[in-house]
Amino acid sequence: MQLKRVVVTGIGALTPLGNTLQEYWNGLMNGVSGADHTTLFDATKFKTRFACEVKGFDVTKFFDRKEARKLDRFTHFALAVAEEAIKDSGIQPDKENHDRIGVIWGSGIGGLRTFQEEVMEFSKGDGTPRFNPFFIPKIISDIASGHISIKYGFRGPNFTTVSACASSTNALIDSFNYIRLGKADIIVSGGSEASVTEAGVGGFNALQALSLRNDDPKTASRPFDLNRDGFVLGEGAGCIILEELEHAKARGAKIYAEMLGGGMSADAHHITAPHPEGLGALNVMRAVLDDAGMSTADIDYINVHGTSTPLGDVSETKAILGVFGENAYKLNISSTKSMTGHLLGAAGAVEAIASIMAVIHDLVPPTINHFTDDPQFDPKLNFTFNKAQKRTVRNAMSNTFGFGGHNASVIFGKYDS
């Protein structure tokens, strides 16, 4: 069968750099760090006392307080970015077949804050079970996609992908496939996460995964730097409206970019550590290039997973060299996690948005906080250190890798009618 083309017609972003798409992009271009001392809870006794929090988010702009209490923070974020993206897309719901519009979302953890609060409250009592009737609906990861579909009446494919930090990239890939196979006209896709909690920070501290740079949070996320010491936990959401090309043209939609391919693989190696030679990352980049029908020479920019961990950054770089060979030296590579921190299940969507914006504006966001070269990295690679770089970005690849060895990669390119 002839696969249909899939384009991007709407975008929404809520990140530690700002609460709209434009604020997010401005922050990236200006090399702003979203990290600061933790305010969402008292982190005094924690090994890591900072995070990349969403700032100034007013939930009452989207819900009344009674309704807001029925939702976890990760669902607040999901509904906020979906609203921005749907408005941006110009979709007129009363003119659409709602059976042909779906919602496919990603979240690695879901309602962690709610789960923590309910269990802590129960532990203070005499053992008598007194739980909020919305406890379960608030914590389940799929509830965000459910709420989006309920709000707008979208009755097409609806589910949530869970693959740790690759979750929302997998959501984008599933959305892409449903549309190009003709099973939907439009899919609201992306991801949200809100795990800056005592349990989230404490759990990642126990894994020794987080940076301990409490004296200088804003420079703590240092991908590819010699003195990187772990990632910075972030929160937020990103939403992308994916649409079948002819449907978008028929309604006169603006088209930001085209989604060209999606690839998936597994490390089959370790629950948290990447394959030391980057085998899973290598395979997923080969898979996405094959799916898009592209060669390595077609890619201008890779938004890498680049978490600022000692092992992960090395593994991914080995994979890039293994896949791209000499063409690796013609690429711009950057880790926007140096600015946003690691948004876990929302990372894929938020970083895909950065990649799309790079394609639109021919600007590559930087990898900030680079101070000292690490001899493990080939000095001929262009990591776009510290300042955004102007270049033609025909096609951009975005990589995400999750605990459990889950790898997902997507490619977006300039729309050519």
Which residues are identified as catalytic? 165, 305, 342
Q: What is the DSSP letter of 62?
A: T
Cross-strand bridge partners of residue 398 = 303, 410
| 344 closest CA partner among 89, 88, 110 | 110
Q: Do the beta carbons of residue 53 and residue 90 sit within 8 Å?
A: no
Strand partners, 163: 165
CB burial of 297-314 (b: ≥16 within 10 Å; e: otherwise) equals ebbbbbbbbbbbbeebbb
Quick one: how far is CA 187 from the chain centroid? Answer: 17
Tokens (6 digits) for 180: 């190009």
CA gap 298, 295 in Å, rounded: 6
Whether residue 233 contacts residue 200, with contact meaning beta carbons closer than 8 Å, is answered with yes
Q: Nearest CA to 74 among 158, 149, 144, 168?
A: 144
What does the block give as tokens for 90? Answer: 């110009």
Q: In terms of Cα–Cα distance, which of 153, 144, 160, 161 is closest to 71?
A: 144
Measured CA to CA, the distance from residue 116 to residue 212 in angstroms comes to 23
Residue of 26, 1, 49, 54 whose CA lies nearest to 236? 54
The Cα 222–Cα 231 span in angstroms is 8
Can you list the alpha helix ranges (DSSP code H) found in 266-364?
279-292, 310-324, 337-340, 347-361
